Structure 1
């Protein structure tokens, strides 16, 4: 690896907390805390599942549409009705996710150390740019790279290869930073170095390449690389 790297941060579940949508769910729905938690879990699980399915079926649709379809499934699964205005208000929460407390400081430290700091995410460009601004991350990023550019989703190697090409960096000198083990496994398979942010102390995936670096929070990435 070079002394400085192109660092490709996943957005959802890495820089920003996807569970912060529970605030919008609670505000918009007549539902108990327990039901809100179940809807949140189903929504995220289906969002990921639908991204895998659309990639495998070669039936790409932007991540905003995937997210909307997953929300509709989650509401139907738990028998919760929502009119169009309520649904749109809940969906908008994906543009206002909370950044993890150590996100800005980590990006700042790594940038000051000479690394190129980017986002590499399944989100389509509009989603990512809006969220990066709202979460206060945009001033600390050199670029925002979307899987939309190759019309598929992680962990397809094309997504990681495109990030290397976009940043004019050999893929071996790029490092994916992600809180999603399947994403880390996919990036490693594509030839990237990786850093897994294992906040829950989970076991790693059994398929794909194991992480080059494992930390328990974003600050650990800066501690190791800055």
Structure 2
């Protein structure tokens, strides 16, 4: 049976840690500091999205990302001007796609599946990233959490993807490299595929993954 496959963008199709190139270049920082900034930025980005959803205080993901960057810079004592912060934020529009991303999308599309994106990113961010990463011509649709005015793992976001696909939620499958995202989609009633690149244990809260692979290409191996 063919499905609507809803790929997460950040950490699944594209590598969020590729912002390290911009951090290294713009801040002339040591590798140790670059790693700390990258880790804190991503952690706070996710934390702030969770908080916004729980507090019913939705803001576009670009604003959440900017606040997370500001926190990371403060945390590690890095002073920057507005222009430099803008350049760092723009790195989120130019993340590197994982090497097997395009091939995976194409194999699944050729097998009859609908290949889409379901992401917390706001529409402008996702459109720019998909274009810059060379993914836009390989996708049937991009769905942003902005359509539900909240963030994953709120069930409303997964429901929005099913509504856009005009299919029951059970005929849609989230594909994500983020275990918390898979747990949320599974709990909402969606089939899932967890791209567990790090060999990590699964989350203790939420639903279990329907499928677990160690690379994007493994999703195509199983479903195509």
Q: TM-score range by the shorter chain?
A: over 0.9
The corresponding residue for 2:127 is 129
Give distance in 1, aligned partners of 2:210 and 2:28.
45
Give distance in 2, aligned partners of 1:117 and 1:171.
15
Give distance in 2, aligned partners of 1:122 and 1:45.
14
The corresponding residue for 1:205 is 203
TM-score with structure 1 setting the length: 0.99
Q: Deviations over 1:110-154 (max 9, x none)?
A: 000000000000000000010000000000000000000010000
Q: Deviations over 1:90-127 (max 9, x none)?
A: 00000000000000000000000000000000000000
Aligned pairs, number: 224
Give distance in 1, aligned partners of 2:167 and 2:138.
19
Q: CA deviation at 1:159?
A: 0.1
Give distance in 2, aligned partners of 1:59 and 1:212.
32
Alignment of 1:130-149 (within 5 A): 130-149=128-147
Give distance in 2, aligned partners of 1:109 and 1:195.
16
The corresponding residue for 2:28 is 30
Q: CA deviation at 1:24?
A: 0.2
Q: CA deviation at 1:31?
A: 1.5
TM-score with structure 2 setting the length: 1.00
Consecutive aligned runs of 4 or more in structure 1 exceeding 3 Å deviation? none
The corresponding residue for 2:111 is 113
